[in-house]
């Protein structure tokens, strides 16, 4: 099962200028009680205002989970959770699936510490329009505005302080959130960003992957998304048979049970169709991958990055190179490497470490810095 799930983390994005709001408007549109919340908490499926990557107004969906008990002085701190790849079709929105609560690592621990958890679906998953798959500004806006939405949930008692934590696609979103939050949401206080196996150098993470099936599925998700959002013809990456397979596979969601047999067969066929495709050969695709990679520059908040040494989806070498560049830029950084760790389990295997790290950021402790030993 893990081998099937491992095929689902894909890492290509497009750039668009982020436009910061000069004044924060109320984000929450609606909040409906959601059954199945963990013990000692209540959950809401929320709809909230946000902006796409170019600054146009949109509505996004997600979930806000609020711990029970009295609100502490100063309000409850918020952890914004950014999920990994679930698909690009509307049916793939975590907030509409029963596996939602089990997919958030360390959720019980976060709630027991009194934190609100805001989990965005991202633009286009569960809301109108196509999902702009891994477009950095769009993902960051969806994450940040989920925090704003949480602050509007009646009785939540949310403070202005938040941390962001994401895995895979969500790790990329978390790093973009750390870059854009100060200008996009100056009324909020981001205390730290944690990213598990984040795709940071998108060209290297996508085109450099030796697993042909991973490259094929990533091309299906990204190609279908970009074709819808940006009008890039699928003919730039595939022949007619491959284009049809891309459209079909893009309708499938990632689940805990992997894929149906017909999806597996379609993936095998697409892998053959795309075996010689190199996205870097197209100047347009290459530039968009470059523009949406995470810039290795010093952030205004502490950073934690976790990576499994046996990850075949996000190259450990690419992550280590990024970490080294961040250290050279003067970033304060905690690096957690799990020897033998894979891509699918990295967030859960390091959850206790990450939750403790987040708690220390809310407590105002000096953030650890591993740069000297790397």
d(CA 372, CA 278) in angstroms, rounded, equals 37
| Whether residues 185 and 221 fall in one domain | no
| Whether residues 213 and 120 fall in one domain | no
Select the more confidently predicted residue: 149 or 278. Answer: 149
Determine the pLDDT at residue 219.
Answer: 74
Instruction: Evaluate whether 73 touches 159 at the Cβ level (below 8 Å).
Output: no
Domain finish residue from 290, 311, 334: 290
CA torsion 265-270-276-281 (nearest 10°) is -150
pLDDT digits (tens, 9 = 90+) for 268-305: 777 777 777 777 777 887 888 888 899 999 999 999 99
d(CA 366, CA 374) in angstroms, rounded, equals 19
| Whether residues 14 and 69 fall in one domain | yes
Number of domains in the chain: 2
| Whether residues 129 and 252 fall in one domain | no
Determine the pLDDT at residue 252.
Answer: 80
User: What radius of gyration, in Å, describes the C-alpha atoms of the chain?
Assistant: 19
d(CA 13, CA 27) in angstroms, rounded, equals 25
| Whether residues 224 and 173 fall in one domain | no
pLDDT digits (tens, 9 = 90+) for 71-108: 999 999 999 999 998 989 998 999 999 899 999 999 99
Select the more confidently predicted residue: 322 or 224. Answer: 322
| Whether residues 363 and 256 fall in one domain | no
What is the Cα 197 distance to its own chain's centre?
Answer: 10
d(CA 360, CA 356) in angstroms, rounded, equals 6
- DSSP β-bridge partners for residue 28: 48
- Alpha-carbon dihedral sign for residues 9, 14, 17, 19: negative
Distances (CA, A) of 121 to 128, 201, 210: 12, 24, 30
Lowest mean pLDDT, pick from 39-43, 151-155, 264-268: 264-268
| Whether residues 242 and 348 fall in one domain | no
pLDDT band per the 50, 70, 90 thresholds, residue 5: very low
pLDDT at 229 over 90: no
| Whether residues 142 and 103 fall in one domain | yes
Work out the number of other CB atoms within 10 angstroms of the CB of residue 297.
11
Determine the pLDDT at residue 225.
Answer: 84
- Per cent of the chain over pLDDT 90 is 61
pLDDT digits (tens, 9 = 90+) for 22-40: 445 678 999 999 999 999 9
What is the Cα 135 distance to its own chain's centre?
Answer: 10
| Whether residues 154 and 243 fall in one domain | no
| Whether residues 248 and 136 fall in one domain | no
pLDDT at 256 over 90: no
Determine the pLDDT at residue 224.
Answer: 85
| Whether residues 167 and 52 fall in one domain | yes
- Alpha-carbon dihedral sign for residues 300, 306, 309, 315: negative
d(CA 192, CA 355) in angstroms, rounded, equals 11
Instruction: Evaluate whether 131 touches 125 at the Cβ level (below 8 Å).
Output: yes
Determine the pLDDT at residue 262.
Answer: 54
Select the more confidently predicted residue: 212 or 47. Answer: 47
- The sheet carrying 76-82 orders its strands as 28-34, 41-51, 57-67, 116-120, 76-82, 158-167, 189-196, 303-308, 333-338
Q: How many residues does the chain have?
A: 374
What is the Cα 119 distance to its own chain's centre?
Answer: 10
Determine the pLDDT at residue 24.
Answer: 57
CATH number assigned to the domain comprising residue 33: 3.40.50.1820
Domain finish residue from 290, 324, 350: 290
What is the mean predicted confidence (pLDDT) over 214-228? 79
pLDDT at 259 over 60: no
Q: What is the pTM of this model?
A: 0.90
| Whether residues 282 and 174 fall in one domain | no
What is the mean predicted confidence (pLDDT) over 210-228? 77
At a CB cut-off of 8 Å and minimum separation 6, what does 189 contact? 160, 161, 162
pLDDT digits (tens, 9 = 90+) for 7-24: 333 333 333 444 445 445
Q: Give the mean pLDDT of the chain.
A: 87
Determine the pLDDT at residue 260.
Answer: 54
pLDDT at 321 over 50: yes
- Range of the structural domain that residue 90 is part of: 2-200+296-373
- Per cent of the chain over pLDDT 70 is 89
Domain finish residue from 290, 314, 334: 290
């Amino acid at each position: 099962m893990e081998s099937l799930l491992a095929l689902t983390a894909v890492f290509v994005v497009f750039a668009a200028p982020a436009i910061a709001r000069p004044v924060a408007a109320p984000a929450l549109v609606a909040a409906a009680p959601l059954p199945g919340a963990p013990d000692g908490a209540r959950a809401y499926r929320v709809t909230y205002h946000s902006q796409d990557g170019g600054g146009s107004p949109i509505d996004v969906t997600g979930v806000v989970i609020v711990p029970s008990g009295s609100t502490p002085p100063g309000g409850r701190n918020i952890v914004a959770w950014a999920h990994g790849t679930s698909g690009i079709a509307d049916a793939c929105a975590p907030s509409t699936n029963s596996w939602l609560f089990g997919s958030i690592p360390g959720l019980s621990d976060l709630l027991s510490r009194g934190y609100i958890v805001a989990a965005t679906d991202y633009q286009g998953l569960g809301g109108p329009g196509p999902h702009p798959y891994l477009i950095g500004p769009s993902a960051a806006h969806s994450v940040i505005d989920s925090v704003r939405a949480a602050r509007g949930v009646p009785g939540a008692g949310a403070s202005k302080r938040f941390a962001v934590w994401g895995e895979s696609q969500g790790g990329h979103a978390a790093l973009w959130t750390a870059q854009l939050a100060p200008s996009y949401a100056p009324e909020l206080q981001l205390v730290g960003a944690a990213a598990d196996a984040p795709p940071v150098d998108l060209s290297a993470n996508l085109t450099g992957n030796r697993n042909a099936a991973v490259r094929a599925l990533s091309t299906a998700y990204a190609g279908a998304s970009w074709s819808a959002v940006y009008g890039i013809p699928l003919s730039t990456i595939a022949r007619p048979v491959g284009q049809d397979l891309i459209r079909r596979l893009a309708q499938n969601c990632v689940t805990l049970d992997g894929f149906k047999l017909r999806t597996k067969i379609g993936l095998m066929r697409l892998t053959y169709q795309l075996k010689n495709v190199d996205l870097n050969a197209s100047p347009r695709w290459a530039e968009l991958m470059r523009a949406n990679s995470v810039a290795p520059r010093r952030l205004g908040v502490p950073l934690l990055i976790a990576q499994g040494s046996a990850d075949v989806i996000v190259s450990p070498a690419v992550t280590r190179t990024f970490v080294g560049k961040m250290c050279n830029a003067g970033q304060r950084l905690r690096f957690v490497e799990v020897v033998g760790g894979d891509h699918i389990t990295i967030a859960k295997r390091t959850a206790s470490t990450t939750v403790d790290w987040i708690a220390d950021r809310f407590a105002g402790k000096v953030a650890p810095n591993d740069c000297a030993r790397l």
